[in-house]
């Protein structure tokens, strides 16, 4: 029983947290930007959030089962991973395997599924954070690439669908196009995929004209942006495209491919987003989650290769998702005319599908 004098006390904001020591064991032999130190930085952000009064409920990760992996990935690719389990290998020039990498990938995928279970379960937690390595959004159904082995967020979406969720929205604000996720849901009208990314850039896909195929036409939304996009660019893209589209889709669950490599400090990309900019995006999406998804929303770590940029951005995103942070007006700069044009072009492509 709650003592009567405690009844009116506001409860601290709580979210489920997936993290696992196995994720640190995926480490390249030489220097690689996708390194375990990224998780150390992410965990510092969690500690800062905790000190600010956010409560993290540890959600144990498990290993994904083969049948769950096969909801997104091909059998031949799963066999390839299993053949390389325990070995040093490479899927491409960027994507390394070490003896523990396949185990880490299965744990990261299973952790994503466990997080979905926590959000859909009878508990009181409707927000989540998955600190995953290896990341997932470039992993295609038939092949991992771009530092990614298994597509964690895609597997999470398929798991939610298998559990009866009709409409899942995936918003991918990683600076790279989430080509693997797009491919997994290209013809699926029940999973909305929205990506904002630097373009032209790795991996080369993500033009605004890529809108999905067959029944899935209109449910793939790409917002390609040229280099130097800042907070105001993302703000404008959100207000003109992302937020109205997601609102009209009325998702019952929002999953975010939360990469932080659009941060100004990131060494791999050319955007200039600040930590507050990530916070603003998280806050806007969490408002939509409240409106249509019973508040259900989770952040899945993707990229982000500057440790300070990753730490401060993740802290801002989690705080804002949990209702603690507000948009800092001082970070606004004027919207460049080229970015305004790119956003307008995307909007006009999606106009009829989404009444923009």
Q: Is 261 in the site for Zn ion (CB under 5 A)?
A: yes
Q: Is 306 in the site for Zn ion (CB under 5 A)?
A: no
Question: Taking the complex as a whole, how short is the minimal distance between the CB of residue 198 and Zn ion, in angstroms?
Answer: 9
Is there a contact between 15 and 56 (Cβ–Cβ < 8 Å)?
Answer: yes
Q: Is 210 in the site for Zn ion (CB under 5 A)?
A: no
For 99-120, the DSSP string reads TTHHHHHHHHHHHHHHHHHHHH
The closest of 223, 220, 179, 226 to 200, measured between CA atoms, is 226
Q: Is 38 in the site for Zn ion (CB under 5 A)?
A: no
CB-CB neighbours of 162 under 10 Å: 13
Instruction: Clarify whether 263 is annotated catalytic.
Output: no
Residue among 46 and 175 whose Cβ is closer to Zn ion: 175
Question: Which of positions 86-115 make contact with Zn ion (CB under 5 A)?
Answer: none
> In the chain, what are the helix, strand and coil shares in percent, each to the nearest 5?
40, 15, 40
In sequence order, the 6+-apart residues with CB closer than 8 A to the CB of 186 are: 212, 213, 216, 220
| Contacting range for Zn ion; rule: CB under 5 A; set: 168-176, 211-219, 246-254, 270-278 | 168-176
Is there a contact between 25 and 86 (Cβ–Cβ < 8 Å)?
Answer: no
Residue among 34 and 210 whose Cβ is closer to Zn ion: 34
* Catalytic annotation, pick one of 138, 159, 197, 263: 138
CB-CB neighbours of 266 under 10 Å: 23
Question: Taking the complex as a whole, how short is the minimal distance between the CB of residue 309 and Zn ion, in angstroms?
Answer: 12
Which of 303, 305, 342, 349 touches Zn ion by CB under 5 A?
303
Which of 176, 197, 283, 296 touches Zn ion by CB under 5 A?
176
Question: Taking the complex as a whole, how short is the minimal distance between the CB of residue 300 and Zn ion, in angstroms?
Answer: 12
Please state, in angstroms and rounded to a whole number, the distance separating the CA atoms of residues 109 and 223: 27
Q: Is 206 in the site for Zn ion (CB under 5 A)?
A: no
Q: Is 235 in the site for Zn ion (CB under 5 A)?
A: no
Q: Beta partners for 297?
A: 127, 254
Please report the beta strands in 153-199, taking only residues with DSSP state E, as ranges in sequence order. 168-172, 191-198
* Residue 92 DSSP class: S
Q: Is 144 in the site for Zn ion (CB under 5 A)?
A: no
Residue among 130 and 350 whose Cβ is closer to Zn ion: 130
| Contacting range for Zn ion; rule: CB under 5 A; set: 100-108, 200-208, 278-286, 300-308 | 300-308
Is there a contact between 304 and 263 (Cβ–Cβ < 8 Å)?
Answer: yes
Residue among 152 and 252 whose Cβ is closer to Zn ion: 152
Which of 259, 277, 279, 309 touches Zn ion by CB under 5 A?
259
As given in the structure block, the two tokens for residue 188 are 């699926």
SS3 category, 257: strand
Q: Is 311 in the site for Zn ion (CB under 5 A)?
A: no
Question: Taking the complex as a whole, how short is the minimal distance between the CB of residue 220 and Zn ion, in angstroms?
Answer: 18
Catalytic sites, residue numbers: 138
Residues forming the site for Zn ion (CB under 5 A): 174, 176, 259, 261, 303
């Amino acid at each position: 029983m709650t003592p009567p004098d405690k009844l009116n006390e506001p409860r601290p904001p709580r979210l489920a947290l997936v993290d696992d020591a196995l994720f640190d064991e995926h480490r390249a032999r030489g220097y690689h930007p996708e390194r375990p130190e990224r998780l150390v930085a992410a965990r510092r952000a969690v500690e800062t959030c905790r000190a600010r009064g956010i409560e993290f409920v540890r959600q144990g990760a498990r290993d994904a089962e083969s049948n769950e992996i096969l909801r997104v990935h091909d059998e031949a690719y799963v066999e390839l991973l299993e053949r390389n389990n325990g070995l040093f290998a490479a899927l491409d020039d960027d994507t390394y395997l070490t003896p523990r990498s396949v185990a880490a990938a299965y744990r990261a995928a299973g952790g994503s599924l466990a997080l979905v279970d926590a959000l859909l379960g009878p508990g009181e937690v409707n927000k989540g954070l998955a600190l995953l390595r290896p990341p997932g959004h470039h992993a295609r159904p038939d092949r991992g690439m771009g530092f990614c082995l298994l597509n964690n967020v895609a597997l999470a979406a398929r798991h939610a669908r298998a559990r009866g969720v009709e409409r899942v929205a995936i918003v991918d604000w990683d600076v790279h196009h989430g080509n693997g996720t797009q491919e997994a849901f290209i013809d699926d009208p029940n999973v909305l995929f929205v990506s904002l990314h630097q373009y032209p850039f790795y991996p080369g896909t993500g033009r605004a004209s890529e809108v999905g195929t067959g029944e899935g036409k209109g449910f793939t939304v790409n917002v390609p942006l040229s280099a130097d996009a800042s907070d105001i660019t993302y703000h404008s893209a959100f207000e003109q495209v992302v937020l109205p589209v997601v609102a009209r889709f009325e998702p019952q669950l929002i999953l975010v491919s939360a990469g932080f490599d659009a941060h100004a400090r990131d060494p791999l990309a050319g955007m200039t987003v600040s930590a507050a900019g990530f916070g603003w995006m998280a806050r806007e999406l969490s408002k939509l989650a409240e409106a249509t998804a019973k508040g259900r929303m989770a952040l899945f770590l993707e990229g982000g290769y500057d440790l300070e940029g990753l730490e401060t951005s993740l802290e801002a995103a989690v705080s804002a998702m949990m209702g603690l942070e507000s948009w800092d007006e001082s970070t606004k700069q004027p919207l460049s005319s080229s970015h305004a044009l790119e956003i307008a072009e995307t909007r006009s492509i999606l106009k009829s599908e989404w009444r923009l």
